[in-house]
């Protein structure tokens, strides 16, 4: 990691004093993140450049983590951390130039307090494109409002540069800026651009941000992005078995979306469709009077929460194939804060829709909400056999996207709403499938649409309510509710 800070003009020779680092000395500081060396490649009456070179030790980092049996990722040693400007460089800046960062100077207080001509270069700043900006654009959006003249040079990467711009820019900032502000801005914005922190983000991080952002952050047009990314917690390095298996396949763990807009399928910000779907499923559950319900593919527990709050439901089983997701569901549902009676209603089981699980037999209803489209078509018969054949609940409530409707979302034909969808059914296909399953396993089928109905394309989500032939129609059905 490398950064140079140049002061030009008549006051340039004062830089050494402002930084409290003698221009004719080479000084190395041993920091927790590595060895930081400060030296001056040039020092003339008009132009003085201080350089900070931070050497990190990835092998030492991994060895420490190996001891704690965490972070067993194949790519730990193969990392851009020794090269790319990150929170480690920010921390080094803060430590090595602490006095200047705080705007103090005994010998040149007026220079420290005023704007001075500066030129800062750091040659490999992480700058991944977001859905709104290219990497270089993002860098400009962050620094230009602060009065910097920004040069963000990109470089093509991959075999013979064939993969387009690398996710880094060679950043040069020039402008008249207070030195303390310049350092503070780097201190905050380098980790923001990296979108990661090498250390655990604790509660004092907010205070740090307020202090370092003084005078420039409040009015920054990208304040929201800066705050969100700066306060983002460290990526969980504790990997579970699933992550290890994914790594075996040379698959990369999906990075979290940058853009708040793309994170909407998360439970915090349900889209209207997600709420409508919940309502439709709950309506179906109530209509058939189900009291013991399984949510097969419960995910983080969006449906479980609603079912827990419904006093008519006496037993709820959340089933998911991912142990990690179940743990997450348990936390989200706040089971440790709920009453014993409520907690007793709920069980969370790891199971799979394609393996027959006799524990699932004998329930009033099994919910399969937006699950079936995640199965390869050749495994649907296994789901049919385990749900309709073996578990045989009185009712099955199943939802899946309506492929006909995808046009409304502007999706080209043959592309799906989610990268993990293996297929999506048109209304005709869904109706045919549901009828076949109903006939084969002895269930009546009722099809419904969920969401705003398009006259031609139907509703965005389709719902099938299956009722076992030997189960009587609930009283009041068909009389209008």
Partner 1 sequence: MTALPVPALSLVVLVGVSGSGKSTFAARAFAPYEVLSSDYCRALVSGDETDQSASADAFDVLHYIVGKRLDRGLLTVVDATNVSREARASLVQLARDHDVLPVAIVLDVPTQVAIQRNAGRADRPFGEGPIKRQAAQLRRSVRGLGREGFRKVHVLTSVDEVDQAVIVRERLLNDFRDQHGPFDVIGDVHGCLDELVLLLDRLGYLVVRDSAGRAVDAEHPGGRRVVFVGDLVDRGPSSVGVLRLAMGMTAAGHALAVPGNHEAKLIRALDGRNVQASHGLERTLAELADEPDEFRVQVREWCRSLVSHLVLDDGKLVIAHAGLKQAYHGRASGRVRSFALYGDTTGETDEYGLPVRLPWAEEYRGRALVAYGHTPTPTLDWVNNTLCLDTGCVFGGKLSALRYPERETVSVDALGVHYEPVKPLVPQVEQRAADELRLDDVAGRRSIETSTMGRVTITAEDAAGALEVMSRFALHPRLVPYLPPTMSPVATAKRDGYLEHPAEAFATYAEWGVDRVICQEKHMGSRAVVFVRPGDGAVYTRTGRTFFGAELTAKLLDRVRAAVASAGLDRELGSDWLLLDAELLPWSAKAGSLLREQYAPVGAAAAMALPPAVAALRMAAARNVDRGEVERGDGSFRSAGLDVGPLLQRTESRLANASAYDAAWQRYVWPTSGLDGVQLAVFQVLAAEGASFAGRDHQWHLAIADRLVEADPGLFRTTRRLAVEVDDAESVAAGIGWWEELTEAGGEGMVVKPLANRVPVTKGRRPQPGLKVRGREYLRIIYGPDYTEPGNLERLRNRNLSRKRSLALREYALGLEAVDRLVAGEPLWRVHEAVFGVLALESEPVDPRL
| Binding positions for partner 1, 202-231, rule CB under 8 A | none
Cα 396 to Cα 330: distance, rounded to the nearest angstrom: 24
Provide the b/e sequence for 57-83 (b: ≥16 CB within 10 Å): eeeebbeeeeeeeeeebeebeeebbee
Nearest to 19 by CA among 99, 109, 119: 99
By the rule CB under 8 A, 16 interacts with partner 1 = no
| Alpha carbon separation from 300 to 98, 294, 320 (Å, rounded) | 44, 14, 9
Residue 3 or 100 having the CB closest to partner 1: 3
Least distance (Å) between residue 100 CB and partner 1 = 19
Nearest to 383 by CA among 459, 446, 437: 437
Name residues contacting partner 1, limited to 357-416 (CB under 8 A).
357-359, 374, 376, 378-379, 381-382, 385
Side-chain-side CA neighbours of residue 276 (13 Å): 14
Residue 43 or 141 having the CB closest to partner 1: 43
Q: Are 32 and 26 in contact (CB under 8 A)?
A: no
* Listed ranges 162-170, 274-282, 442-450, 458-466: which one lies at the site for partner 1 (CB under 8 A): 162-170
Residue 167 or 474 having the CB closest to partner 1: 167
Cα 257 to Cα 264: distance, rounded to the nearest angstrom: 10
By the rule CB under 8 A, 196 interacts with partner 1 = no
DSSP H/E element including 177? strand 168-178
Residue 63 or 477 having the CB closest to partner 1: 63
**Per-residue 3-state assignment (H helix, E strand, C coil) for 274-302:** HHHHHHHHHHHHHHCCCCEEEEECCCCCH
Residue 102 or 416 having the CB closest to partner 1: 416
Least distance (Å) between residue 232 CB and partner 1 = 18
By the rule CB under 8 A, 4 interacts with partner 1 = yes
Nearest to 445 by CA among 395, 371, 393: 395
Residue 254 or 309 having the CB closest to partner 1: 254
DSSP letter at 255? P
How, if at all, do strands 115-126 and 149-153 pair? unpaired
Name residues contacting partner 1, limited to 47-76 (CB under 8 A).
49, 51, 53, 55, 58-60, 63, 66, 69, 72-75
* Listed ranges 212-220, 269-277, 352-360, 398-406: which one lies at the site for partner 1 (CB under 8 A): 352-360
Least distance (Å) between residue 198 CB and partner 1 = 15
Least distance (Å) between residue 20 CB and partner 1 = 15
By the rule CB under 8 A, 431 interacts with partner 1 = no
Least distance (Å) between residue 441 CB and partner 1 = 13
* Listed ranges 42-50, 193-201, 274-282, 399-407: which one lies at the site for partner 1 (CB under 8 A): 42-50
- Our measurement of the distance from residue 20's CA atom to the centroid of its chain's CA atoms, rounded to an integer in Å, reads 40
* Listed ranges 116-124, 270-278, 303-311, 450-458: which one lies at the site for partner 1 (CB under 8 A): 116-124
By the rule CB under 8 A, 471 interacts with partner 1 = no
Least distance (Å) between residue 114 CB and partner 1 = 27
How, if at all, do strands 168-178 and 34-43 pair? unpaired
Residue 10 or 248 having the CB closest to partner 1: 248
Least distance (Å) between residue 110 CB and partner 1 = 25
* Count of chain residues binding partner 1 (CB under 8 A): 81
Name residues contacting partner 1, limited to 246-285 (CB under 8 A).
246-252, 255
Cα 271 to Cα 421: distance, rounded to the nearest angstrom: 19
Residue 193 or 465 having the CB closest to partner 1: 193
Residue 93 or 209 having the CB closest to partner 1: 93
Cα 321 to Cα 106: distance, rounded to the nearest angstrom: 63
Q: Are 175 and 149 in contact (CB under 8 A)?
A: yes
Least distance (Å) between residue 124 CB and partner 1 = 4
By the rule CB under 8 A, 439 interacts with partner 1 = no
Q: Which of 351, 399, 400, 402 forms a contact with partner 1 (CB under 8 A)?
A: 351
Least distance (Å) between residue 354 CB and partner 1 = 6
By the rule CB under 8 A, 130 interacts with partner 1 = no
Least distance (Å) between residue 27 CB and partner 1 = 8
DSSP string, 88-103: HHHHHHHHHTHHHHTT
Q: Are 44 and 12 in contact (CB under 8 A)?
A: yes
For helices 179-194 and 135-143, the axis angle rounded to 10 degrees is 150
Cα 303 to Cα 367: distance, rounded to the nearest angstrom: 9
């Amino acid at each position: 990691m490398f950064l140079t800070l140049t002061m030009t003009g008549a006051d340039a020779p004062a830089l050494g004093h402002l930084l409290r680092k003698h221009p004719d000395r080479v000084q190395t500081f041993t920091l927790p993140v590595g060895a930081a060396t400060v030296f001056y490649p040039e020092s003339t009456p008009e132009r003085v450049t201080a350089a900070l070179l931070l050497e990190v030790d990835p092998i030492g980092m991994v060895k420490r983590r190996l001891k704690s049996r965490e972070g067993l990722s194949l790519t730990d040693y193969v990392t851009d951390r020794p090269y790319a400007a990150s929170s480690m460089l920010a921390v080094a800046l803060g430590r090595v130039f602490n006095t200047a960062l705080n705007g103090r100077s005994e010998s040149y207080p007026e220079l420290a307090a005023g704007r001075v001509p500066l030129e800062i270069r750091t040659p490999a700043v992480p700058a991944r494109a977001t859905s709104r900006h290219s990497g270089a654009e993002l860098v400009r959006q962050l620094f230009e409002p602060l009065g910097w003249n920004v040069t963000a040079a990109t470089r093509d990467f991959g075999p013979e540069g064939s993969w387009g711009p690398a996710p880094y820019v060679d950043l040069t900032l020039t402008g008249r800026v207070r030195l303390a502000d310049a350092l503070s801005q780097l201190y905050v914005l380098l980790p923001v651009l990296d979108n990661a922190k090498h250390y655990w983000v604790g509660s004092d991080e907010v205070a740090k941000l307020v202090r370092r952002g003084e005078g420039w952050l409040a009015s920054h047009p990208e304040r929201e992005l800066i705050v969100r990314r700066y306060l983002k917690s460290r990526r969980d390095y504790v990997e579970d078995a699933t992550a290890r298996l994914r790594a075996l396949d040379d698959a990369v763990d999906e990075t979290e979306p940058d853009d708040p807009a793309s994170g909407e399928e998360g439970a915090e910000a349900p889209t209207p469709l997600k709420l409508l779907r919940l309502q439709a499923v709950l309506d179906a559950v109530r209509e058939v009077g189900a009291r013991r319900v399984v949510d097969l593919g419960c995910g983080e527990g969006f449906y479980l929460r609603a079912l827990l709050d419904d006093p008519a439901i006496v037993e709820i089983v959340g089933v998911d194939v991912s142990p990690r997701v179940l743990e997450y569901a348990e936390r989200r549902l706040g089971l440790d804060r709920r009453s014993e009676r409520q907690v007793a209603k709920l069980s969370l089981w790891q199971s799979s829709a394609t393996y027959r699980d006799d524990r699932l037999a004998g329930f009033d209803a099994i919910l399969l909400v937006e699950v079936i489209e995640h199965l390869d078509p050749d495994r649907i018969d296994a789901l049919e056999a385990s749900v309709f054949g073996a578990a045989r609940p009185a009712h099955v409530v199943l939802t899946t996207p309506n492929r006909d409707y995808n046009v409304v979302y502007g999706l080209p034909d043959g592309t799906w709403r989610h990268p993990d969808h293996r297929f999506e059914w048109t209304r005709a296909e869904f109706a045919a499938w549901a009828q076949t399953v109903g006939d084969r396993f002895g269930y009546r089928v009722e099809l419904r649409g969920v969401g705003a109905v398009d006259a031609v394309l139907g509703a965005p989500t389709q719902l099938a309510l299956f009722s076992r032939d030997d189960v009587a129609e609930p009283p009041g059905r068909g009389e209008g509710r």
